[in-house]
Amino acid sequence: MQSRYRFLTFVPLAMAAFAQDSVTTSLSGGVFSGFAHFGAVRAEHVMTVTGAPYSAEETFTLVQTLVDGTQITRASTTEKVFRDSAGRLRIERTAVPGHLARKQGVEVPVIVELTDPVEHVRYTLDTVNKVAHKQPLTVPARGQAARPPAPAVTKAEQAETRERPAVTHEDLGKQTVEGLVLEGKRITMVFPAGSQDNDRPITVVTETWMSPELKVPGLVTNNDPRSGESTTKLINVNRSEPDPSLFQPPADYTVIEETGDFTMKWGREKQ
């Protein structure tokens, strides 16, 4: 859980494909279109953290509470994260959110991402077809976080900026979670009435608890009445050096040099 960005852009058709086991399902672009997480900035850039090895599981849940009190789990994922002393990163995740796979009662592929700032490469491992998609990696200067390209601003977003939310920052002190001493900060954003066609203010609260030792957040919560309450947490944290073989493609994988977007396919082709 370094300085990553989480996207909930899962396409339901992928889940249907696995359930039917009759069509080809694909992920394209090398930037996995499921859910990115807090580790490495996805795409070509990554911030390197050295001298702080660890392995852990990263859990993410998003729960929406309806006006009658009914709670709906919109997302529930668990990812495995490994980082060695040189800053190499390994992330293992399923191709679709785990709770959706469980509902369908099917096995889904595991996507493995290897980020190597020493060799300046990243691999996306197709564990079904035993293929390692290799891409160049640009590493920013030490201590500088990579910045993703600024998204295009829509007309609706431009209108929204006319009444910016009031933002406050608070230090929350320290707490110990999963054996990690974390330092917390809270950001509260209040969107004024009328700024989003709302008849009363909307308050969004985000708490981020950082580990100064690992330089990653150990716990992040976000409470937004428009979407629900999300929690991201590191669990089963191990501070020992991971096995070096975890950061290399297996010997029986075919390595493909990628110069642009690529596609990973699973399942049987339609007849």
Number of domains the chain contains: 1
Please report the pLDDT score of residue 172 as a whole number: 96
CB 212 within 8 A of CB 49: no
CA distances from 207 to 25, 52, 183, 195, 219 (A): 36, 23, 10, 24, 8
- As given in the structure block, the two tokens for residue 209 are 């608890």
Q: Is 218 within the bounds of a domain?
A: no
Q: Is 133 within the bounds of a domain?
A: yes
Q: Beta-strand (E) ranges in the chain? A: 25-28, 54-65, 71-83, 89-94, 110-116, 121-126, 131-136, 166-177, 180-191, 202-211, 216-224, 228-238, 254-257, 263-266
- pTM for the model: 0.74
Q: Is 92 within the bounds of a domain?
A: yes
Of 219, 238, 242, whose CA–CA distance to 83 is shortest? 242
Q: Is 47 within the bounds of a domain?
A: yes
Q: What is the pLDDT of residues 166-203, one digit of tens each?
A: 999 999 999 999 999 999 999 999 999 988 888 999 99
Q: Is 189 within the bounds of a domain?
A: no
Q: Is 65 within the bounds of a domain?
A: yes
Give the domain extent around 242: 12-146+234-266
CB 257 within 8 A of CB 134: yes
Distance (Å, whole) CA 11 – CA 15: 8
Q: Is 165 within the bounds of a domain?
A: no
Please report the pLDDT score of residue 131 as a whole number: 93
Half-sphere exposure at residue 182, Cβ-oriented, CA atoms within 13 angstroms: 20
Tens-binned pLDDT, residue by residue, of the chain (271 aa):
443 433 333 333 333 333 333 333 444 444 333 333 333 333 344 578 999 999 999 999 999 988 888 988 888 889 999 999 999 999 998 876 555 555 555 567 889 999 999 999 999 999 988 999 999 987 554 544 444 455 555 555 555 455 789 999 999 999 999 999 999 999 999 999 988 888 999 999 999 999 999 999 999 999 999 989 999 999 999 999 999 999 999 999 999 998 888 887 765 444 4
Q: Is 245 within the bounds of a domain?
A: yes
Tokens 């990653």: give the residue.
216
Q: What is the pLDDT of residues 115-153, one digit of tens each?
A: 999 999 999 999 988 999 999 987 554 544 444 455 555
